[in-house]
Amino acid sequence: MNAHEIDYQIYGEEMQYVEIELDPNEAVVAEAGSFMMMDSGIKMDTIFGDGSNQEKGILGKIFSAGKRVLTGESLFMTAFLNAGQGKKQISFASPYPGKILTIDLSEVQGKFICQKDAFLCAAQGVSIGIEFSKKLGRGLFGGEGFIMQKLEGDGLAFLHAGGTLAKKQLAAGEVLKVDTGCIVGFTQTVDYDIEFVGGIKNTIFGGEGLFFATLRGPGTVYIQSLPFSRLAGRVLAAIPRGGKDKGEGSVLGGLGDLLGGDNRF
């Protein structure tokens, strides 16, 4: 099915949200937890799969939902339909600091490959499926298993990138080496593989992981400066162990807290 033609506006700088304008009978699909606000007259409905195969009956719905399970997502998505009169607005928010990336699938030959956690929302009719890797190394060490997400169709899709977003246009044969978690997505013409960092010191003491991704052009690549896994790792490392904190780097530790007015005792 052809995707609905939706209008949109992105607001904010570091904690962005996208406001989508729906004409009567237009709809948008989104992952659970991304909804922010909407006008009265928009109907919310939980759908099986991504809504792209609803006209194909129960088998199409099951196939669509099954693809989402393989990417670790829920069987269900939420569709928001303008069931009223006139134009209505609905907004979806970023889950953590970063940028919202707009992909017009009609401008990338109808397909875009992305990290499974990057998808925010899309016009109804866009298919959210899986992209299998045919290379063993990519599957074992890529950080996303054998699977990445693919968005297919001719409508608009919105992705979220953590931190600052970088766009790289690769020429034919040009190679970009990237931390595996920093990839947001790339066009289907880009070849994606995994490469061993190499070197004993790099492997043991480098602190950057054993593998990085190699992206070979031609095509467009989007990179994020702050993957959620990196953010979560830093937060986890800062959690106090055994009820004691780290004193925010102070050599005085708990005594420094007392002197600084922290009376948590």
Q: Is 8 helix (H, G, I), strand (E, B) or coil?
A: strand
Q: pLDDT tens digits for 111-154? A: 999 987 899 999 998 988 888 665 545 554 545 444 688 999 99
Task: Identify the residue whose tokens are 């054993």.
Answer: 210
Q: How far apart are CA 109 and CA 123, in angstroms?
A: 17
Give pLDDT, residue 130: 81
Is the pLDDT assigned to residue 237 strictly greater than 60? yes
Q: Is 24 helix (H, G, I), strand (E, B) or coil?
A: coil
Is the pLDDT assigned to residue 60 strictly greater than 90? no
Peptide bond connecting 97 to the previous residue in cis, omega within 30 degrees of 0: no
Is the pLDDT assigned to residue 86 strictly greater than 60? yes
* Token digits of residue 194: 């995994």
Q: pLDDT tens digits for 145-191? A: 446 889 999 999 999 999 999 999 999 999 999 988 899 999 999 99
pLDDT band at 105 (very low <50, low <70, confident <90, very high): very high
Q: pLDDT tens digits for 197-220? A: 655 544 444 444 567 889 999 999
Give pLDDT, residue 59: 47
* Token digits of residue 210: 């054993």
The HSE-up count of residue 140 (CA atoms within 13 Å, CB side) is 6
Q: Which residue has the higher pLDDT, 222 or 51?
A: 222
Give pLDDT, residue 256: 47
Which of 144, 120, 138, 235 is closest to 194 using CA atoms? 138
Give pLDDT, residue 262: 46
